[in-house]
Amino acid sequence: MSGGEERQARPSPRLARGLALAASALLALAILLAPWYGLGAYEPTGWEASWWLRVACLLAVASVALLRLGRGALVPAALACALVGARVLLPPDFGLDFDGLEVPVERRWGAWAGLAAAALALLATALPARRARRVP
């Protein structure tokens, strides 16, 4: 580091875009295919469990399309991350009530994979956007 400059290792915009594409695609696949919740033997996918996750899936697909077109996808990635985070934090009520006995809804591995993919997609999408706003 010459002249007292500090250099931070940052991924290139191309790498960040590829990472955002992969994470957004992984999020869509996790919502469509992976079990998100468990009620005994019933393990619905994210798509089956919640409208919020259906919207998040569509936003992830929109992010992939926007990134492929070379456009910014920060807003859809942020909205998808917020929806997924809310659904992991607040699991849906499947309307099962047995004379006041509460039926617990357990989170399955798909919820955690979806949350990780959504966070990674948002982070990778935000890196190039942050660079573009930076003033030299």
pLDDT for the residue numbered 5: 53
pLDDT for the residue numbered 94: 72
> Closest by alpha carbon to 127, among 16, 48, 28?
16
In tens digits, the chain (136 residues) has pLDDT values of 455 555 566 668 889 899 999 999 999 999 999 999 998 788 999 999 999 999 999 999 999 999 999 888 999 999 999 999 999 999 987 766 555 556 678 999 999 999 999 999 999 999 876 655 555 5
Cβ atoms within 10 Å of 134's Cβ, excluding its own:
6
Supply φ then ψ for residue 25, to 5 degrees.
Answer: -65, -40
Q: Are 33 and 109 in contact (CB under 8 A)?
A: no
Cα separation, 79 vs 71, whole angstroms:
16
CA distances from 19 to 11, 37, 48, 124 (A): 10, 27, 27, 6
pLDDT for the residue numbered 59: 98
Supply φ then ψ for residue 97, to 5 degrees.
Answer: -140, 115
